Amino acid sequence: MAVESSKKKTKSGPNGLAAEQATQALLRISEAITSDLYLEDILKLIVTITAETTGTKICSLMLVDDQKQELVVKATQSISEEYNKKPNIKLGHGVAGKVAVEGKPTQVFDVRKESQYQNTEIAKKEKLCSLLCLPLIFRGKTIGVLNLYTSTPRKFNDDEITILKSVAHQAAIVIENFKLVVETKVIREELETRKSVERAKGLLMQQRGISEKEAYACIRKYSMDNRKGMKEVADAIITASDFGQNLAP
């Protein structure tokens, strides 16, 4: 049965997360977050460092797909084809799905015997045993989960869970910051496209004596027929005008 982390603090055991190891892991993750790496590479580095530091067999990071209401694996250091191709998990279903909804870390001592766990056959084949699942929370919203699997029975203590919560928190920050950068870039590109198209429409209207609607239709048709972006077509019209050439399309 899935249980939340124990309330009683215990010292790290033979397989536990030592303070020095934890500090080094968090430092390496912090360096990755502030680097010029792509998001995929940062997430892969986070799960790899976490797996190495904790001595876990598989560490995976799953993100919420808001449209499908599912958890999707986005990064793992696992080379297991079976695990990497496992089905998405519906929010509220299975261990990870419930963690994503409830926003609380959960431990399972043996996933092969846990009725709530949805991929028992994969766990048996890959010899997975214990699971610690932590939510990735950003500004009160769960955006994904961090899963750690061991090949032998293990109970993570409160100190370890606290450290791993920090890892999950850092992962959540880098994911949301990346989304913000992408959204800002998209908005900026949309504004630039709009400005170029507006100027190109005006030039076509002036040279050809056509309406705004007709000018826009010309640009759009040329864009579709030649598989070019609207901004690229508009910029070509503006450039032609600057050089005193006849405007296409």
Q: For residues 44 and 79, is the Cβ–Cβ distance under 8 A?
A: no
Q: Is residue 202 part of a domain?
A: yes
Lowest-pLDDT range of 11-25, 60-74, 119-133: 11-25
Burial 237-249, CB ≥16 within 10 A → b, else e:
bbebbeeeeebeb
Q: For residues 45 and 31, is the Cβ–Cβ distance under 8 A?
A: no
Domain boundary residue, one of 157, 182, 207: 182
At 20-51, the pLDDT tens digits run 766 777 777 777 666 666 788 888 888 998 89
Q: What is the CATH number of the domain that holds 194?
A: 1.10.10.10
Same domain, residue pair 196 and 99: no
Cα 68 to Cα 48: distance, rounded to the nearest angstrom: 27
pTM of full prediction above 0.75: no
At 141-177, the pLDDT tens digits run 999 999 999 999 999 998 889 888 988 888 888 888 8
Q: What is the CATH number of the domain that holds 50?
A: 3.30.450.40
Same domain, residue pair 194 and 149: no
Please count the structural domains in the chain: 2
Q: Dihedral of the CA atoms 169, 62, 159, 107 (nearest 10)?
A: 140
Same domain, residue pair 99 and 54: yes
Helical (H) or strand (E) element with 58: strand 58-65
What pLDDT score was predicted for residue 14? Answer: 39
Q: Is residue 7 part of a domain?
A: no
Q: Which residue has the tokens 């239709």?
A: 217
Q: Is residue 164 part of a domain?
A: yes
Cα 217 to Cα 230: distance, rounded to the nearest angstrom: 11
At 173-209, the pLDDT tens digits run 888 887 766 666 666 777 888 888 888 888 888 888 8
HSE-CB of 184 using CA atoms within 13 angstroms? 6
Question: Given a cut of 50, is residue 58 above it in pLDDT?
Answer: yes
Q: What range defines the domain where residue 26 resides?
A: 19-182
What pLDDT score was predicted for residue 17? Answer: 58
Q: Is residue 12 part of a domain?
A: no
At 205-245, the pLDDT tens digits run 888 889 988 888 888 888 888 888 888 888 888 888 766 55
